[in-house]
Amino acid sequence: MSLLDGRRSVLFVHAHPDDETISTGALIAEYVARGSRVFLLTCSRGERGEVVAGPLTALAGTNELARERDRELERATGILGITERFWLGEAPARVDGLESRRYRDSGMVWLRPGLAGPADDAASDALSVAPLAEVAADIAALIVRLRPDLVVSYDDGGGYGHPDHVRAHDATLAASEATGTPFAEVLETPGADGEWFDLPGHLGVVTDALRAHASQLTVHGTEIVHSGGQREPIVTSAGLRLHPRTSPA
C-alpha cells in the first residue's frame, strides 16, 4: 500500500515556519485531498531567519519577527488545509508535568551552495543543542495525544544540513520508535528506496501558502526568491521513505 493511501491522520514535524510549505506543501495538500486529517508540529519560531527587503525588514533580529512568523504560519496552514498545528515545548507537545519551554532557532552557516552547517553562536536554548532525549520526549507526548497513522519529517541529513532539521529528524525518529508509530522521511530526489509523487495539481495551493510567508520569501511566477536572493522552483513533487526502524514487522 502506498504511503499516501488509507491514512486517517498524518503528523508533519518541521523545524521552522515555512519549511512545511516549501518542502512538503504538495504532500500536505494531497493528504488533505484524500481525506486525511493533517497535523503540523513546528519546532522553533524561526527567530533567526533573514527578512525579505521591504516593509517587514525592520523585524529582523527582533522579538516581533517570531510573532510575525507565527501569524504567517497560521495563514499558510489554513490555506493548505491543516487540521491543527502545535509548537514544540508547549502542551500537548510537552511532557506532562514539565513547564512549557521554547526551542529557539539555532541559526546556520552555508558550508557550500546547497549545504548548511551549524552556526557557532547558537543560544543555549536552541533546538539543535537541546538534549535529544527531551526533544524526543516532547514529540512523543504529542504523538501519544494524536495517535497519527504516520509521522513525516526530514531525512537524516535534514534535507540540506540545517542543524535544526537534523535535530528534528533525530528526535522525531526516536519519538516514533518509542511510540510504535511509522515514520517516513521526506526525499527530495527520486530513488529506488522510496515512493516518489508528482503532484502538479496542487501548485496553486502551494503557491498561495508560500505567499503567506512574506517575511521570508517572495513568489515570482513558479519560483521562490528567498530573503538572501537565492532562487528555487516551487516544489510540487516529493518522495517518502518509511524508516526501517519503524516499519511494521
Residue 131 located in a structural domain? yes
Where in the sequence is the domain holding 236, given as residue range(s)?
A: 9-246
pTM of this prediction exceeds 0.85: yes
Burial readout 133-153 (b: 16 or more C-beta within 10 A, e: otherwise): ebbbbbbbbbbeebebbbbbb
Q: How far is CA 199 from CA 94, 196, 204, 228, in A?
A: 34, 10, 11, 28
Q: What is the CATH number of the domain that holds 189?
A: 3.40.50.10320
In this structure, the strands spanning 9-14 and 37-42 are parallel
Taking the C-alpha atoms of residue 198 and residue 27, their distance in angstroms, rounded to an integer, is 9
Q: Under 8 Å CB-to-CB from 130, ≥6 apart: which residues?
A: 103, 167
Model pLDDT, residue 94:
98
Is residue 41 one of the residues assigned to a domain? yes
The domain total for the chain is 1
DSSP track, 201-245: GGHHHHHHHHHH-TTTEEEETTEEEETTS-EEEPP-EEEEEE-GG
| 153, part of any domain | yes
In this model, does residue 249 exceed pLDDT 70?
A: no
Condensed to tens digits (0 to 9), the pLDDT of residues 66-103 reads 999 999 999 999 999 999 999 999 999 999 999 999 99
Lowest mean pLDDT among 105-109, 181-185, 198-202, 218-222: 105-109
Using pLDDT thresholds of 50, 70 and 90, give the confidence band for residue 194. Answer: very high
- 3: in domain: no
Secondary element (H or E) of residue 116: strand 115-118
Q: What are phi and psi of 59, to 5 degrees?
A: -75, -20
Stretch 158-162: mean pLDDT? 81
- CB neighbour class for 192 (10 Å; exposed up to 12, middle 13-18, buried from 19): exposed
Please tell me the least confidently modeled range out of 18-32, 51-65, 106-120. 106-120
**What pLDDT sits at residue 160?**
79
Give a yes or no: residue 150 inside a domain.
yes
Task: Tell me, yes or no, whether 170 lies in a domain.
Answer: yes
Please indicate, yes or no, if residue 2 is contained in any of the structural domains. Answer: no
Nearest to 186 by CA among 5, 3, 1: 3
Share of the chain above pLDDT 70, in %: 99
Q: Is the pLDDT of residue 38 over 70?
A: yes
Longest CA–CA span in the chain (Å) reads 53
Residue 217 resides in a domain: yes
